[in-house]
A and B are shown apart, each in its own frame.
Chain A
Amino acid sequence: MIQTRRTITLGLVAALGAVLLNPVRALAAWNDGAFKARSTMDGMKALGISNPQDSSDIVIRAPEIAENGAVVPIDVTSNIPGTTSISVFIEKNPFPYTGSFEFAAGAVPFVHLRAKVGESTPVRVVVAAGGKFYTAAKDVKVTIGGCGG
């Protein structure tokens, strides 16, 4: 389906308006375009992320080497004041955009997740805070391992 830029802009404004007017998120808001994006850049575009600034106030903890790429634990903490969401992109996965986590009413901007990582890759995180975007990345190595238990 081809949308005009105007339609997309109106759509984004409407979505933003909906979020501002109604902070309780609608379960139906799953962003299909972002999840189907084949690159981190396209995923970010679909999410309306623009000009993310590198930030050392985003702490990503992930194993140096993951024994099994099927379950890679990733911890993200944002020390940026006013953080409202954390988005995760596993850059070399077929569909890099892995998810967004939103914080409201006292939730601490921290999340622990476990993801499938297809091959050694940077894990990129984008934080939304105060209407601006910030980003950081961490490399994760993945092995297949041998035949044992």
Chain B
Amino acid sequence: MRHALMVGLAAALAAAPWLTASAQTEDEVNAEFEKFRAVLEQDNPAELWEVKGEQLWKTPRGPKKASLEKCDLGLGPGVVKGAYAQMPRYFADVDRVMDAEARIVHCMITLQGYQYADLAKAPFSSATRTPDPVSIVTYVAAQSEGMKFAPPQSHPKEREAYALGKEIFNFRGGPWDFACASCHGLEGKKRIRTQLLPNFADPATAIAAVQAWPGYRMTGGVMHSLQWRLTDCFRQQRLPKPDYTSETLSLLMTYLTVNASGQTYKGPGIKR
């Protein structure tokens, strides 16, 4: 009786195609997702913020009623083309390495008279509001579309930023003992549900950390930059929240962007 049952069971299992046929592999699903994003990127709502950001850059605003056209993003006052792909970088006037959004906020404070406290109060997009620095960094980033990432490592503080950024990336802490590397580190391909987690420590795949940011996030239909994304990583790791445009984030961005050096930036993208 038991033998017949076993034979019957074996036959049933052999006949069930869903057990023997391979389910879609991770790579196949990921390839589908990339095709999906490529279609959406052809007409990317991010372009609406590029337009808005350009207006904000060129319009005299703030207590000083000045535009941002004298803002130095590292290539000289007012030079926007190519600047994003060459950041983060060292700025002598503040004696620190800054990423693009940190630099834009600095210019909004020094050239236009805005207050850091006001800009840091609600710095991330919601369904009904996109903060000005987010629109502006989207515009600035779009002016580096098609260019290779080339954050400089010539100044000692830029090299130090890379080393510190690497330490931050690997630093395990918080109640779950997480580091960025826990999800995005050297231990091979990882996944959360259907999302593949690229290895950001490996130059071959580090581009995934900086490509498509600033990005129009389909979830919620909002424009987000790396300031938002990295801050959210800290939250997901249950680590303390970094201050908006703090040095910590510039250091981390230096590590990630230098790892992606030489690869082409495709401009503001689409994110899940």
Residues of A within 8 A of B (CB): 63-68, 70-71, 73, 114, 143-149
- Main secondary structure, interface of B, reads mixed
Cα A146 to Cα B29 with chains together (Å): 13
Kindly state the separation between the CA atoms of A66 and B213 in the bound complex, as whole angstroms. 20
Q: Which residue of B lies closest to A70 (CB)?
A: B218
Any A CB within 8 A of the CB of B25:
no
Tell me which residues across on chain A come within 8 A of B218, comparing CB atoms.
Answer: 67-68, 70-71
Is there an interface contact between B215 and A67, defined as CB atoms closer than 8 Å? Answer: no
User: Does B35 sit within 8 A of A, measured CB to CB?
Assistant: yes
Residue among A66, A71, A114, A148 with most chain B CB within 10 A:
A148
| Given the contacts A68-B218, A70-B218, A70-B221, A148 and B272 also touching, CB distance less than 8 Å | yes
In the complex, B266 has a CB within 8 A of chain A: no
Residues B39 and A149 in contact, CB atoms below 8 Å apart:
no
Q: Is the CB of B32 within 8 A of A144?
A: no
Bitwise interface map of B from 172 to 201 toward A, beta carbon under 8 Å scored 1, else 0: 000000000000000000011111010000
Contact yes or no, B32 A146, CB < 8 A:
no
Identify which of B35, B193, B271 contacts A146 (C-beta below 8 A): B193
Does the CB pair A145–B229 fall under 8 Å?
A: no
Q: Is the interface of A mostly helix, strand, loop or mixed?
A: loop
- Known contacts A71-B218, A73-B39, A145-B193; is-contact A63 B32 (Cβ 8 Å): yes
Interface presence of B18 (CB below 8 A) = no
Q: Which residues of chain B come closer than 8 Å to A71, judged between CB atoms?
A: 40, 218, 221
Tell me the B residues contacting A by CB distance below 8 Å.
29, 32-33, 35-37, 39-40, 191-195, 197, 213, 215, 218-221, 229, 236, 271-272
- Please determine whether A66 and B215 come into contact, CB atoms closer than 8 angstroms: no
Q: Which residues of B contact A64 (CB under 8 A)?
A: 32
For the complex formed, measure the closest distance between the CB of A30 and the CB atoms of chain B, giving whole angstroms: 23
CA distance A146 to B190 in the complex (A): 12
A149 in contact with B36 (CB, 8 Å) = no
Q: List 21 A-B contacts (CB under 8 A).
A: A65-B33, A65-B36, A67-B36, A67-B194, A67-B272, A68-B272, A70-B218, A71-B221, A73-B36, A144-B194, A145-B193, A145-B194, A145-B195, A145-B272, A146-B193, A147-B192, A147-B193, A147-B195, A148-B192, A148-B197, A149-B271
Given A63-B36, A68-B272, A146-B191, 7 additional A-B pairs, CB 8 A: A63-B35, A67-B218, A70-B219, A144-B194, A145-B195, A148-B272, A149-B271
* A96 to B272 alpha-carbon distance, docked (Å): 24
Using known A-B contacts A71-B218, A145-B272, determine if residue A114 contacts B193 with beta carbons closer than 8 Å.
no
Q: In the complex the two chains form, is B37's CB within 8 Å of A67's CB?
A: yes
The 5 tightest CB contacts between A and B, nearest first, are: A146-B192, A146-B195, A146-B193, A68-B218, A148-B195
